Structure 1
Amino acid sequence: MHITTIGAAIVDVVVSTVQPMRGAKQDVEHIGLYAGGGALNAAFNMAARGAQVAVHACVGADLEGKLLRDLLQSRGIQPVLSTHRLPTGKSVVMVDDAGAARAYAQRGASAWVGEQGFAGLDRSDVVYVTGLSLESQAWLQAALAAMLRRPFRLVVTPGARQLAHPDALRDLWAQADLLCVNAHEAVRLVQGDDGRLPADDPPPEVARNLARQLIRRPGQTALLTLGAEGALFFDGRAGHFHPVQPVDVVSTIGAGDAFASAFVHAWAGGAPPQDALAAATRSAAQVIQVVPANLAGPLQA
């Protein structure tokens, strides 16, 4: 299976375990440098499962960009990385003792993926789209529109900027074979900014109704993560639910990428929904037990 991921390739500075600030300086347990961004997180996960993976992203002409390129190549992943005059994107991630994370991001070059096109998509079985800038989303939509035929399944996992502009997301949303969102994002898409969930983690029956409202055409499917309630895959006719796997949480920052990418790998490979959900649940459980957003290890020369 050949999978192409599209989105951000950044450097994460991860700080844990952070307590409420008292004074000008605080000792922490760990500060590490890691590869991050949705496109990289998904690529590492799918490559570890045996897929042939290429990454479409944009980095700067700097040391950080070279480190990311070298890391991808060392993992057998094809880096289709354009180079921009802006520096490689960076994020400082603060993780507290409950595993909750706050990120401070400088998007840099990562916001310009697709400016030079998306060569090679027609050789993919799956194109997995992570969070994009509105400019990158427009370039991708133009590339898809120019294709005479689309031989791949299109998976869309929209980011915050896309979710904040649902009108701009509408075309890509309608083209997706699988849309991956969490329950709060689903409410925002179908009900607008004033939409409210009846609970922080909605039960399966509420999630099933949300997923049904996300469907825009026959054959489209949706994957909803429900926090502590688990996850639900809606195949266009019925909902398939799977509970969470209880583990000690170290960091939740990469749980969504780990879940969705493992599900997509199994689903695209023909696994039944329950098996794909089980694989995704195990993947997310593994990632939330380590500090970074993926299992690639520290970023180093």
Structure 2
Amino acid sequence: MLQFITIGAAIVDIVVSRVHPMRGAKQDVEHIGLYAGGGAVNAALNVASRGARVTVHACVGQDLEGGLIRDLLQRHGIRAAIPPHHLPTGKAVVMIDDTGAARAYAQRGASAWVGEHGFAGLDQADVVYVTGLSLKSQAWLQNALSAISRRPFRLVVTPGARQLSDPQALHGLWDQADLLCVNAHEAAKLLADDTIRTDAPSPQIAQALARRLVRHPGQAILLTLGAAGAVFFDGEASHFHAARPVEAVSTIGAGDAFASAFVHAWAEGAAAQDALATATESAAAIIQHVPANMGGLLRA
């Protein structure tokens, strides 16, 4: 059984769909729901459902929302290495339009303090899966990684918006990662390449883009292309897999669903095309639901 550690945000998503352009002070919508979210939680739930043993390193407040997240993880057999914080649990209001496209308004709260008290247990993991972090959390993690003389795990990095806003600061984790997971827009931002102006470049362009992201020999790159599919560069060769056409109810959480399913299959030794196929099915399933994350209703 694989031992996973996921590191990053544990937040509450307030999801509103279907949102139309505002035409007055109040608008009736199809659905409003309260869900568990955040990259560390979404990834943990996905890999746990595939048989992995998982510990989540995150940070929540001493409030109702933090308690709900802890209870959810416990129900799924996931260990929560989540110290309480005086700041409130992070929250995001997610607005989904008729196309399934999502816009989020986030209050980071306690989620920006992941790792303040360290990252116990790293040396016992098979996979350390890093999601979006604040820059101070990223620095704490880099210090913890530098203290491990011989790393027994695969380090997977799926950077968030704050890390991508400062690619120079990301270099510490980027340089060390065994696998970097980004989408085409994020890849272009990391490479300061303004010639890539689409989220779905051709497979040929995407394969070249993936190779340019490599920071050390043997490093692998997973590059997602939205509805166009994904490219995986395994350190030697590139592999492309098309997306499965489905009607998207919501795209929020699709990246977490794809990357975490891929990483679980990859870490188990699956062939590249098989891992990509597994990830494709995971993302296709999740985007057909309103919350489009793995946690389900917190109130359930």
- Please tell me whether the aligned partners of residues 18 and 28 of structure 1 are also in contact (alpha carbons under 8 angstroms): yes
Which residue number in structure 1 is paired with residue 205 of structure 2? 206
Q: Match of 2:260, SS?
A: helix
Which residue number in structure 1 is paired with residue 242 of structure 2? 243
Take 2:84 and 2:282, find their aligned partners in 1: how far apart are those partners? 31
Take 1:36 and 1:165, find their aligned partners in 2: how far apart are those partners? 24
Matches within 5 A, 1:147-158: 147-158=148-159
One-letter amino acid matched to 1:174: D
One-letter amino acid matched to 1:287: I
Residues 197-226 of structure 1 deviation map (CA, whole Å, 9 limit, x = unaligned): 154410111001111110011110000001
One-letter amino acid matched to 2:170: L
How far residue 196 of structure 1 moved from its aligned partner, in angstroms, is 2.8
Residues 25-57 of structure 1 deviation map (CA, whole Å, 9 limit, x = unaligned): 000010000000000010111011111011000
Q: Match of 1:261, SS?
A: helix
One-letter amino acid matched to 2:114: V
Which residue number in structure 2 is paired with residue 278 of structure 1? 277
One-letter amino acid matched to 2:7: I
- Cα 1:111–1:199, aligned 2, differ >3 Å: closer, same or farther? closer
Which residue number in structure 2 is paired with residue 23 of structure 1? 24
One-letter amino acid matched to 1:281: T
Residues 245-270 of structure 1 deviation map (CA, whole Å, 9 limit, x = unaligned): 01111000111000000000000000
One-letter amino acid matched to 1:42: A
Matches within 5 A, 1:255-270: 255-270=254-269
Which residue number in structure 2 is paired with residue 72 of structure 1? 73
How far residue 167 of structure 1 moved from its aligned partner, in angstroms, is 0.8
Q: Match of 2:59, SS?
A: strand
One-letter amino acid matched to 1:282: E
One-letter amino acid matched to 1:224: L
Gaps of 5+ in 2: none
Which residue number in structure 2 is paired with residue 226 of structure 1? 225
Q: Match of 1:142, SS?
A: helix
Which residue number in structure 1 is paired with residue 114 of structure 2? 113
Matches within 5 A, 1:119-198: 119-191=120-192, 195-197=194-196
Residues 78-125 of structure 1 deviation map (CA, whole Å, 9 limit, x = unaligned): 111011110000000000110000000000000000000000111110
Matches within 5 A, 1:61-100: 61-100=62-101
- Please tell me whether the aligned partners of residues 134 and 163 of structure 2 are also in contact (alpha carbons under 8 angstroms): yes
| Over 2 Å off, 4+ runs | none
The alignment's TM-score, normalised by the length of structure 2, stands at: 0.98
One-letter amino acid matched to 1:13: I
One-letter amino acid matched to 1:96: D
Take 2:136 and 2:83, find their aligned partners in 1: how far apart are those partners? 15
Take 2:133 and 2:31, find their aligned partners in 1: how far apart are those partners? 30
Take 1:196 and 1:287, find their aligned partners in 2: how far apart are those partners? 31
How far residue 276 of structure 1 moved from its aligned partner, in angstroms, is 0.1
Matches within 5 A, 1:3-22: 3-22=4-23
Measured on the aligned residues, the alpha-carbon RMSD in Å equals 0.9
Range with bigger deviation, 17-26 or 183-192:
183-192
Gaps of 5+ in 1: none
One-letter amino acid matched to 1:37: G
Take 1:157 and 1:120, find their aligned partners in 2: how far apart are those partners? 20
Which residue number in structure 1 is paired with residue 289 of structure 2? 290
Q: Match of 1:91, SS?
A: strand
Take 1:136 and 1:27, find their aligned partners in 2: how far apart are those partners? 39
- Please tell me whether the aligned partners of residues 5 and 42 of structure 1 are also in contact (alpha carbons under 8 angstroms): yes
- Please tell me whether the aligned partners of residues 183 and 199 of structure 2 are also in contact (alpha carbons under 8 angstroms): no
- Please tell me whether the aligned partners of residues 223 and 231 of structure 2 are also in contact (alpha carbons under 8 angstroms): yes
Residues 111-145 of structure 1 deviation map (CA, whole Å, 9 limit, x = unaligned): 00000000011111000000000000000000000
How far residue 297 of structure 1 moved from its aligned partner, in angstroms, is 1.4
Take 2:296 and 2:8, find their aligned partners in 1: how far apart are those partners? 20
Take 1:275 and 1:120, find their aligned partners in 2: how far apart are those partners? 30
Take 2:90 and 2:282, find their aligned partners in 1: how far apart are those partners? 26
Percent of pairs identical after alignment? 72
Take 1:60 and 1:115, find their aligned partners in 2: how far apart are those partners? 14
One-letter amino acid matched to 1:297: G
